Amino acid sequence: MTIKVTMNLTQRDVRNTESLQDFMHARTKAQAVSTALSVTKALAENMKPGSELLIRQKDGSIEKIIFPELY
């Protein structure tokens, strides 16, 4: 099922959507937003109290990623 959603986006939201579209090679902005929602859902489901999201860079360094909205 597909539901059409109309939103008011800030310039920042538009730039973020365009950036994601380029990064993900999405054909449309809607596809980029849909993928971003899926990724955010997966992160939110796995973020338990006290857990951390870490990214290991190619050089072996580790960065902690903080999403205040997920806590």
Beta-bridged to residue 56, according to DSSP, are 62
pTM above 0.85, yes or no: no
pLDDT above 80: residue 67: no
pLDDT of residue 22: 97
What are the tens digits of pLDDT across the range 34-55? 999 999 888 888 887 778 889 9
* CA dist., res. 4 & res. 61, Å (int): 42
Sheet strands (E) in 1-71: 53-56, 62-65
Distances (CA, A) of 20 to 8, 28, 31: 18, 10, 10
